[in-house]
Amino acid sequence: MFSTPLVIQVYKYMSLQEDILGTGVWHMQQTSVEQLKQHAIELRKTAVTMVYEAQSGHPGGSLSAADVISALYFREMNVDPANPKWEDRDRFVLSKGHVAPIQYAALALRGFVSNESVYTLRQYGSPFQGHPDMKKCPGIDISTGSLGQGLSCAVGMAIAGQRDEKDYRVFAMVGDGECQEGQIWEAIQAAVKYKLDNLIVFVDNNRLQIDGFCEDVMPLLDLEKKFDAFGFDTTRIDGHSMEHIVETLDTFAKQKNGKPKCIVCDTVKGKGVSYMEDQAAWHGTAPNKEEFELAIKELEGGLPV
Amino acid sequence: MSVTKKAVEKKATRAAFGDEIVRLGESNKDIYVVDIDIGKSCKTDKFIEKFPMQHINVGIAEQNGAGIAAGLATTGKIPFISTYAVFGSLRMAEQIRQEVCYPNLNVKIACSHGGLTPGNDGGSHQAIEDMGVMRSFPNMTVIMGADYHSTRKLIAEAAAMYGPVYLRFTRDAVPMIYDENETFEIGKAKQLRDGEDIAIIANGDTVRLAIEAAEQLEQNGVSVKLLDMHTIKPLDVEAVKDCLDIGSIITVEDHNILNGLGSAVAEVIAEAGKGQLARIGVQDRFGESAPYEKLLEINGITVENIIAKANQLLTN
């Protein structure tokens, strides 16, 4: 396993390489599945630590989203930590903004922000607000937090890219519970109308929301079928299988066929920390010292494959 | 300033939007229009025809329209969301708060059918609280021009400034007040008259009523200072303070007397601790289907009531 400082050093070196080559583009296709798995563990540890330090935040959904976030930030997305507002960058919209800790962890590991700074999460003056704030934090493409709204913003970014004939892509992550919001379906309609094959939507299908199982609170039925019926190219994968995530990003997500893409990721809320797994109570609860130490120990033990 | 004397020609200020947005689109390819199905009514048809690649129609989905506009703005576009005031201020209110004002994105919300002007449509379509709602959001600028030319100028100013702007237009035709060379500055009241006995501060489609009332008051020997307060946020506080020495102030608006121009002026007066105020506007009640002028009359938004309120304040 990489120690965090070493990882950051490695990326700094890669940034230098990029400058020397003058490509303007940072391709990370060489990042192996094994490395992505290790990064995902690091992201989980950082996110849980952030929430523990703040004694506030959302660990459950951060952990369910970690593997996709790892694949996006360390392999798939064309972004430049030295120039976070680079106009040709790929965009990422965390529509389920409450899982900001996992995105902040990725921004730190990727070198957008310093590794230590993220532990100011939710403190006064911190760039790491309770929900992502594009004005305060480098690498945040749009402020989110009120569920159901981010996907529309992603559609706007994708339309702009299409009209400007740019190659960038827009990745968005929505929660399954979030799909109870009507605006999500408005955004989906627009994405299909405008043939946004530069838009890739991940549904973090962890089956839980604050009040319990989505199935009990407001059943979402089969989200894969619903996105498909609305006109998306849709697939469904194990959202904790790095092999599946990478394969889907390499093939399915890259089709330029005039259709937006949806990847329904079956995930487990709290994944990697046994006592948080599948527990709605860990949606927005911070661990105490004992719980935190156990969480780190379990995460360091690695995820069962 | 010069007020057009022959105030006979009338135009709806939504037509000013339709014309000005075409001029803006010609000179700036980043100007986008986000329509929410009612493009024809909101007068964006000429823009659609000329600049289809700068146009998006999201259908009957206001919330999504606001979010798409925010997304466009993050890439440097200057989107104008075009809809009716009741929807533009309320159906998408939270999206404007969260995705436009909170990140301070360069999105303009351009709304026809402001105030009681969609008279026959009834209370469901009359936006009487929109400017107040928008005034509550940090980073938001809130504007209603008094006539065609001033509205065009203010739209151009809104496009030129960075940040969220709410622009409100009339559905109905209102008299031309200004000539086309008049200039306007956002946040700066336009003084139409100077006077010493009473100050009238009006905006939007009620400026015409205030002008008429001021003329009649002058004929009766009352000296009137008259301001067109086209921007209620940021309010031209200095212009209001300049009225405090006169002592008596009347506000006139086609909006609920709560939270709009009257409230904004009242805040200045209360903090200064001097002066007396009468607010003329919608009397905190919903409208109904009726001719626009009838609805104004029901709420006392009339020349006669402005004069009556002036006389009342002057005898206090």
Residues B173, B11 contacting (CB under 8 angstroms): yes
pLDDT band at A30 (very low <50, low <70, confident <90, very high): confident
Based on the domain organization, do B46 and B92 belong to the same domain?
yes
Q: Select from A142, A163, A194 the Cβ nearest to the Cβ of B70.
A: A142
CB contact under 8 A, A153 and B64: no
On chain A, the residues whose CB falls within 8 A of the CB of B98 are 143-146, 149
Which residues make Cβ contacts (< 8 Å) with residue B182, sequence separation at least 6? B1, B2, B149, B150, B153, B190
Q: Does B67 touch chain A (CB under 8 A)?
A: yes
**Is there a domain that residue B196 lies in?**
yes
Residues A206, A102 contacting (CB under 8 angstroms): no
How far, in Å, CA of B168 to CA of B85, rounded?
A: 7
Name beta bridge partners: B193: B226
Query: Average model confidence (pLDDT) for chain A?
Result: 91
Residues A244, A238 contacting (CB under 8 angstroms): yes
On chain A, the residues whose CB falls within 8 A of the CB of B74 are 91, 134, 141-142, 153, 156-157
pLDDT tens across A171-184, in order? 999 999 999 999 99
Please name which of A116, A119, A13 lies closest in space to residue A56, comparing C-alpha atoms: A119
CATH class for the region spanning A4-300: alpha beta
**Is there a domain that residue B2 lies in?**
no
Q: What angle do CA B110, B116, B118 make, to 5 degrees?
A: 70
How far, in Å, CA of B285 to CA of A28, rounded?
A: 61
Based on the domain organization, do B251 and B107 belong to the same domain?
no
**Is there a domain that residue B242 lies in?**
yes
CB contact under 8 A, A146 and B68: no
The pLDDT assigned to B4 comes to 52
Strands B198-202 and B190-193: unpaired
Mean pLDDT of B13-37: 98
Based on the domain organization, do B296 and B233 belong to the same domain?
yes
The pLDDT assigned to A138 comes to 98
* Residue B292 domain boundaries: 190-315
pLDDT band at A70 (very low <50, low <70, confident <90, very high): very high
**Is there a domain that residue B212 lies in?**
yes
How many A×B Cβ pairs under 8 Å?
Answer: 105
Q: What angle do CA A199, A202, A295 make, to 5 degrees?
A: 145
On chain A, the residues whose CB falls within 8 A of the CB of B79 are 156
Q: Does B102 touch chain A (CB under 8 A)?
A: yes
**SS in 3 state form for B106-119?**
CCEEEEECEECCCH
Based on the domain organization, do B213 and B168 belong to the same domain?
no
The pLDDT assigned to A28 comes to 60
The alpha carbon of residue B207 and the mean position of all alpha carbons in its chain are separated, in whole angstroms, by 10
C-alpha distance from A118 to closest chain B C-alpha (Å):
20
What share of chain B in percent tops pLDDT 70?
98
**DSSP H or E run through A265:** strand A261-266
**Is there a domain that residue B55 lies in?**
yes
List the A261-266 sheet strands across, edge first.
Answer: A91-94, A170-175, A199-205, A261-266, A233-238
Handedness of CA B61, B67, B69, B71 (dihedral sign): negative
pLDDT band at B182 (very low <50, low <70, confident <90, very high): very high
On chain B, the residues whose CB falls within 8 A of the CB of A194 are 56
Residues A173, A65 contacting (CB under 8 angstroms): yes
Mean pLDDT of B87-112: 98
What share of chain B in percent tops pLDDT 90?
97
Among candidate residues B148, B175, B202, the one where a domain is terminated:
B175
How far, in Å, are A14, A29, A38 from residue A26 at the CA level?
8, 9, 20
Q: Which residue has the higher pLDDT, A15 or B203?
A: B203
C-alpha distance from B42 to closest chain A C-alpha (Å):
21
Q: Which of A87, A96, A152, A170 to mutate to test the interface with B (most CBs of B within 10 A)?
A: A152
pLDDT tens across A233-274, in order? 999 999 999 999 999 999 999 999 999 999 999 999 999 999
How far, in Å, CA of A78 to CA of A45, rounded?
A: 24
Domains identified in chain B, total number: 2
Q: Which of B31, B72, B75 to mutate to test the interface with A (most CBs of A within 10 A)?
A: B75
Q: Select from A134, A158, A186 the Cβ nearest to the Cβ of B64.
A: A186
CB contact under 8 A, A134 and B75: no
Based on the domain organization, do B148 and B75 belong to the same domain?
yes
Based on the domain organization, do B134 and B241 belong to the same domain?
no
Domain boundaries along the sequence of chain A: 4-300
A270: its two tokens: 């709290």
CA-based radius of gyration for chain A: 18
pLDDT tens across B183-223, in order? 999 999 999 999 999 999 999 999 999 999 999 999 999 99
**Is there a domain that residue B100 lies in?**
yes
How far, in Å, CA of B235 to CA of B237, rounded?
A: 5
* Residue B108, CA atoms < 13 Å, CB-side half-sphere: 25
The pLDDT assigned to B5 comes to 53
DSSP 3-state of B173: strand
How far, in Å, CA of B82 to CA of B47, rounded?
A: 12
Q: What is the CATH number of the domain that holds B277?
A: 3.40.50.920
pLDDT tens across B132-178, in order? 999 999 999 999 999 999 999 999 999 999 999 999 999 999 999 99
Is the per-residue pLDDT at B252 higher than 70? yes
N residues, chain A: 305
Q: Select from A133, A135, A183 the Cβ nearest to the Cβ of B64.
A: A183
Q: Which residues of B are catalytic?
A: 62
Mean pLDDT of A181-196: 98
Interface of A with B (CB under 8 A): 87, 91, 133-135, 141-146, 148-161, 163-164, 182-183, 186-187, 189-190, 193-194
Q: What is the CATH number of the domain that holds B145?
A: 3.40.50.970
Is the per-residue pLDDT at B118 higher than 90? yes
How far, in Å, CA of B142 to CA of B234, rounded?
A: 7
Based on the domain organization, do B144 and B273 belong to the same domain?
no
Please name which of A28, A34, A4 lies closest in space to residue A15, comparing C-alpha atoms: A28
CB contact under 8 A, A190 and B58: yes
Phi, psi of B111 (to 5 degrees): -120, 125
CA nearest A149 in B: which residue? B67
Is the per-residue pLDDT at A158 higher than 80? yes
Among candidate residues B145, B175, B205, the one where a domain is terminated:
B175
Residues B32, B77 contacting (CB under 8 angstroms): yes
CB contact under 8 A, B73 and A158: no
The pLDDT assigned to A18 comes to 42
CA dihedral A51, A217, A182, A257 (to 10 degrees): 80
Based on the domain organization, do B129 and B196 belong to the same domain?
no
- Omega within 30 of 0 (cis) for the link into B234: yes
Residues A132, A144 contacting (CB under 8 angstroms): yes
C-alpha distance from B71 to closest chain A C-alpha (Å):
4
Least confident of A1-5, A109-113, A222-226: A1-5
Q: Select from A87, A135, A183 the Cβ nearest to the Cβ of B63.
A: A183
Mean pLDDT of B39-55: 97
Is the per-residue pLDDT at A9 higher than 50? no
How far, in Å, CA of B21 to CA of B44, rounded?
A: 8
**Is there a domain that residue B4 lies in?**
no
DSSP, res B180: T
Mean pLDDT of B14-36: 98
Based on the domain organization, do B198 and B166 belong to the same domain?
no
Q: What is the DSSP string of B235-281?
A: T-HHHHHHHHTT-EEEEEEEEETTTSHHHHHHHHHHHHT--EEEEEE
The pLDDT assigned to B8 comes to 72
Based on the domain organization, do B146 and B218 belong to the same domain?
no
Q: Which residue has the higher pLDDT, B213 or A301?
A: B213
pTM exceeds 0.90: yes
Residues A177, A217 contacting (CB under 8 angstroms): yes
